Amino acid sequence: MPTGSGEGFGVEVGRVWRAGAVHLPRVSDTLHEASVPMLASHAPITSRSGGLGKDPGGQLDELQRLIRKGVDDSKDTIDVCGQALIWAAEDYELTDEAARAAYQREKDRLD
Three-state DSSP class for residue 11: helix
Residues contacting residue 76 through CB under 8 Å, at least 6 positions apart: none
Residue 30 lies in a domain: yes
Residue 50 lies in a domain: no
Residue 1 lies in a domain: no
Residues contacting residue 97 through CB under 8 Å, at least 6 positions apart: none
- Supply the range of the domain harboring residue 104: 6-45+55-108
Three-state DSSP class for residue 5: coil
Residue 26 lies in a domain: yes
d(CA 110, CA 71): 29
pLDDT digits (tens, 9 = 90+) for 38-95: 777 665 555 555 556 667 777 788 888 898 899 999 999 999 999 999 988 887 766 6
* 0.75 surpassed by pTM: no
Number of compact structural domains in the chain: 1
Residue 16 lies in a domain: yes
